[in-house]
Amino acid sequence: MTADSLLLVLVFFPLAGSLLALGAGYQPRLCRWVSLILSLMQMALISLLFFLDLQPHSGPTGTWLLAVDYPWLEGIGARFSLGLDGLSLLLLWLTAFLTVISVLISWTAINLKVGLFHFFLLFLEGCLMGLFMATDLLLFYLFWEIQLIPMFFLLGIWGHARRIYAAVKFVLFTFGGSLFMLIALLVLYVLHGHQTGEYTFSLYQLSQTPLSPTVEGWLYAAFLLAFAVKIPLVPLHTWLPDAHTEAPTAGSVDLAGLLLKTGFYAFFRFAFPLFPGAAQASIPLLLALGLVGMFYAAWIALAQTDIKRLVAYSSIGHMGLMVLALGIWNLMALSGSLLQLFNHGISTSALFVMVGMLDERLGSRNFQDMGGLWQQMPVFSAFFLFFALSSMGLPGLNNFVGEILILLGAFQIRPLIAVLAFVGVLLTVIYILRMVQDSLFGESRRVQPLRDVTPREVLILAVMALPVLYIGLHPGPVLRLFESSLQVMWGQFPMLARSLGG
């Protein structure tokens, strides 16, 4: 058994663990501990990979740090192949980390069908593990669609008042988008088969399919649509605020921290290498969508009355900047953008976690019911300010590093776009400060006292603050990981490097 087969463990351990959690569901306490231990083990396992000193090596599915490739549906040429590179590794770690957080924050908040809840959490973790490593398109599509199931139920069962509406909207949007991707995928599969006689879903092989520009454009558009819904890009974003507003805290954490990342990840991992020509042609579109997203979402966020909706809109804005970096496509901007994936996963999740804590105490997420929280909950407020500052990109904290790399990188190629993006970042400051002011400062409007954070909550927040500081002050190792991933990617997909530069 080689280190490569660890990848299988990474996918199937949480899936098997989810059944265990379901089984332990008859006793909520036991179930919580089981889920916590399982998710911690998974996180430890992934952390181990950072220390293995993995080197990229090439195999039948391309060049990866670790890869497995097994026959799966032999009749149609689909294989169970997974590959790990620096980007996947970091996203896997993020997934495992946020799953631990999700279990911890649901400790007292979830009392209904506890077993089922943790089953879905761990099941979702397993799906995402597979999704972030799949190098076979059919396998990827499978994970892509299946992640909807746990998310749908997390929203639909444990959500707030309008949960069914939000859950259905979420599934319809994403499923509607990905149907186009399925069609495009099948077309690509058939075309490749026709031309080479070899029917395969392998990303590596499909990326070498010669396509006429028209066909490539249409296929790319279908992928774009699927991923744009998930990221989400304006104007396909309206499911997101609703989903967040209705989701339980753990659902929001997974949604913002992980599910949105799958859209961007897929864009980067599949759409660009498969259709480099079309991707190049789409650059003005990506830049425009990214900028519009930044401005539009940040502007709207300012007007929100529900704090969770504000954070949801902030997500859309942040993702806009990352998509803009895709359109820039140089080493600096891409490194920043990949780092931002991780940063956004931590900071925005932390804000959702804190909004959840607030909701548990106030029974409301409306700014009208807040104000003066610092007086009653100083520790909570200090953490909230910290994560808010991280989200608005204060230097020394994580988001700054990603943002400044994107902006500096963008300026090297497209100064005008970069100047606009610099202005866009300013809008973030405006709504973040408004959020902080209307919640923490001002006169306290409540008569009954609020209890400050419990030790469990302090633990959660402190643990989430560590990566914020680490990335903010010492991002070097992570950036090197991305750099080698990007170099490998450009070596692996010469057409991509040729059309977009690398």
Partner 1 sequence: MDLILTFMLLFPLIGAMFNALVGWRLPRRLGEGVACAAVLGALVMAVAGFVLLGQGTLQVTLLDWLAVGDFSVSFSLLYNPLAALMALMVTFVSNIIHLYSVGFMREDEDWARYFCYLNLFVFAMLVITLADNLLFFYLGWEGVGFCSYALIGFWYSDPANAAAGRKAFVVTRIGDVAFGIALALLVYLFHSLSLSDLHHHATMLSPGLAALLSLLLLWAAMGKSAQLPLTVWLPDAMAGPTPVSALIHAATMVTAGVYLLIRMFPIVSQSPLALMIIAGVGAVTTIYGAAAALGQRDIKRVLAYSTISQVGYMVLAVGAADIIGGMFHLLSHAFFKSLLFLTAGYVIQALAGEHDIFKMGNLRRLLPHIYWPFLIGALALSAFPMIGGFFSKDRILLATFISPGVSYKVFWVLATVAAFITPLYTFRLFCLVFQDRPDGSTPEEIKPVPNFMAYILWPLALLALLDGMLNLPFGPGKRWLGVYLSSMPGSRVDLGAPLAYELGMGVGSALIIVAVIILTCYLYRPPGPAWRAPGWQALLFEAFYLDKLYQYLLVGPYRRLAVFWWQGADEGGIDRGLKGAAAGVEVLSRGLGHGTSGRLSTYVKMLLVGLTLLLTALALKFFL
Site for partner 1 in 217-246 (CB under 8 A): 234-235, 238
Q: Report the residue number, 20 or 331, with the smaller CB distance to partner 1.
A: 331
CA-closest candidate to residue 324, choices 231, 219, 429: 231
Q: Which is nearer to partner 1, 71 or 210 (CB)?
A: 71
CB 66 → partner 1: shortest distance, Å? 19
Cβ proximity to partner 1: between 194 and 474 the closer is 474
Q: How far is the CB of 477 from partner 1 (least distance, A)?
A: 10
Site membership for partner 1, residue 302 (CB under 8 A):
yes
- Tell me the two tokens of residue 179: 């149907």
Among 423, 445, 449, 466, binds partner 1 (CB under 8 A): 423
Total site size for partner 1, rule CB under 8 A: 73
Q: Which is nearer to partner 1, 288 or 302 (CB)?
A: 302
How many CA atoms are closer than 13 Å to the CA of 500, on its beta-carbon side? 32
Residues making up the chain, counted from first to last:
502
Nearer to partner 1, 112 or 164 (CB): 164
Give me the residue label for tokens 């753990």: 250
Question: Minimum distance between the CB of residue 90 and partner 1, rounded to whole angstroms?
Answer: 15
407 counts as binding partner 1 under rule CB under 8 A: yes
300 binds partner 1 (CB under 8 A): yes
Pair 304, 310: CB distance under 8 Å: yes
164 binds partner 1 (CB under 8 A): yes
Residues 6+ apart with CB under 8 A from 13: 38, 41, 42, 45, 126
By CB under 8 A, is residue 412 in contact with partner 1?
Answer: yes
Residue 296: helix, strand or coil by DSSP?
Answer: helix
Choice from 37, 52, 408, 459 touching partner 1 (CB under 8 A): 408
Return the ∠ at Cα 300 (arms to 297 and 301), rounded to 5°: 80
**280/329 Cα distance (integer angstroms):** 10
Evaluate whether 259 touches 146 at the Cβ level (below 8 Å).
no
Considering only 36, 45, 109, 146, the residue that binds partner 1 (CB under 8 A) is: 146
Phi, psi angle pair for 113, to nearest 5° = 50, 60
- Binds partner 1 (CB under 8 A): choice among 288, 434, 469, 502: 434
Give, as ranges, the residues between 441 and 470 that touch partner 1 (CB under 8 A).
441-444
- Over the window 86 to 115, marking each residue x when it contacts partner 1 by CB under 8 A and - when it does not, the resulting string is ------------------------------
User: What is the phi/psi pair of residue 75, to 5°?
Assistant: -55, -35
Q: Which is nearer to partner 1, 29 or 480 (CB)?
A: 480
Looking at beta carbons only, is 194 or 445 nearer to partner 1? Answer: 445
Q: How far is CA 429 from CA 127, 214, 381, 388, 434, in A?
A: 35, 42, 18, 9, 8
Pick between residue 141 and residue 267 the one whose CB is nearest to partner 1: 141
SS3 of 300-312: the string is HHHHCCEHHHHHH
Is the dihedral angle over the CA atoms 101, 103, 108, 112 positive or is it negative?
positive
Residue 440 as a binder of partner 1 (CB under 8 A): the answer is yes
Which residue, 277 or 393, has its beta carbon nearer to partner 1? 393
List the one residue from 374, 383, 384, 493 that touches partner 1 (CB under 8 A): 374
Is residue 377 involved in binding partner 1 (CB under 8 A)?
Answer: no
Q: Name the residue nearer to partner 1 (CB basis): 107 or 199.
A: 199
- Cβ neighbors of 117 (< 8 A, separation 6 or more) are 106, 110, 154, 157, 158, 250
- Judged by CB under 8 A, the chain residues 28 through 87 that form the site for partner 1 are 70, 72-73, 80
Nearest one of 324, 293, 300, 318 to 431, comparing CA atoms: 300
* In the complex, minimum distance from the CB of residue 496 to partner 1, in angstroms, rounded to a whole number: 18
Window 332-371: residues binding partner 1 (CB under 8 A): 332, 335-336, 371
- Residue 451 CA: distances (Å) to CA of 288, 373, 385, 439, 448: 45, 10, 18, 15, 10
476 touching partner 1, by CB under 8 A: yes
Which tokens in the block code for residue 164?
A: 């069914």
> Does the protein bind partner 1 through residue 172 (CB under 8 A)?
yes
Q: Which of 59, 193, 217, 372 binds partner 1 (CB under 8 A)?
A: 372
> Which range of residues in 52-60, 143-151, 351-359, 449-457 is near partner 1 by CB under 8 A?
143-151
Part in contact with partner 1 (CB under 8 A); list of ranges 41-49, 206-214, 247-255, 407-415: 407-415
Q: How is the chain split among helix, strand and coil, in percent rounded to 5?
A: 75, 5, 20
Other C-beta atoms lying within 10 Å of the C-beta of residue 199: 14
- Computed from CA positions of residues 297, 298, 301, 302, in that sequence, does the dihedral angle turn out positive or negative? negative
How are beta strands 66-73 and 78-84 bridged, if at all? antiparallel
CA distance 230 to 243: 12
The C-alpha atoms of residue 433 and residue 428 are separated, in whole angstroms, by: 9
Q: Which stretch binds partner 1 (CB under 8 A): 161-169, 272-280, 281-289, 317-325?
A: 161-169
